[in-house]
Amino acid sequence: MEWNDLREIQIVKNLLNEKFNIKDIGNLKYFIGMEVPRSKEGISLCQRKYTLDLLEDTGLLAAKPATTPMDSAIKLHENSGPIHPNPTAYKRLLGMLIYLSHTRPAISYVVSHLSQFLSKPIIEYYNARLRILRYLKTAHGKGLFFSSKTNISLKGFSDSDWGACIDTRRSVTCYYFYIGESLILWKSKRQRTVSRSSKEAEYRVLALVGCEAQ
């Protein structure tokens, strides 16, 4: 079946309607906080309104923007300081940032890193989350773009931050996959075991990315 075969698409719609009683409301434009602008060049996916609402909710709409989502000079760990007085607000903000990372892969590393400390919400972690919001303020309409003219070629990139987790000494793995110029998959997570060198950490992530590519 060709992806643009309207007859086959209608057959699929009819089959789905028989099972689930669906309704065709046309091209998707907005869904659960995600905006889907379309053009001849391709389809965009962003969370502009969601980002602006989040900035307004946290009182950072007029705050000074940050050039990076995380301060590389700050090393967070379980004993970084006093506990945040409102753990609920702390966890709610993190949950919203996790959802926002669906269209903003640039924040996925720091959001994943901060997710490790949910059981002990320290004030410094909360401040790190606010920095992510100040970074998003620089381009709140940015997101993913899927070109209509992309070539069907798979490309993958990976990196490893050796011993990035101070508490466990485990390295952090990051990888990205593209089809042509369109980003389709990204992930950031701690490695399961402690690597004895940066080379070992890199080989581990290469093995993981190789399996993912297959």
| pLDDT by position in tens, the chain (length 214) | 455 678 888 888 889 989 888 888 888 888 888 899 888 888 899 999 999 998 888 888 888 888 888 877 666 666 666 676 777 877 888 888 899 988 998 888 888 877 777 777 777 777 777 888 889 888 888 889 988 887 788 888 888 777 666 667 777 788 889 888 888 888 877 777 787 888 888 878 888 888 888 8
CB 183 within 8 A of CB 176: yes
pLDDT for 79 equals 66
Task: Write down the pLDDT at residue 166.
Answer: 65
Give strand ranges (E) for the chain.
30-31, 34-35, 38-39, 42-46, 143-147, 154-161, 172-179, 182-190
> In terms of C-beta distances under 8 Å and separation of at least 24 residues, what long-range contacts does 184-191 make, across chains too?
185/212, 186/105, 186/108, 187/108, 188/108, 188/109, 188/112, 188/113, 189/112, 190/116, 190/164, 190/165, 191/160
Question: Could you report how far apart the first and last alpha carbons of the chain are, in Å?
Answer: 24
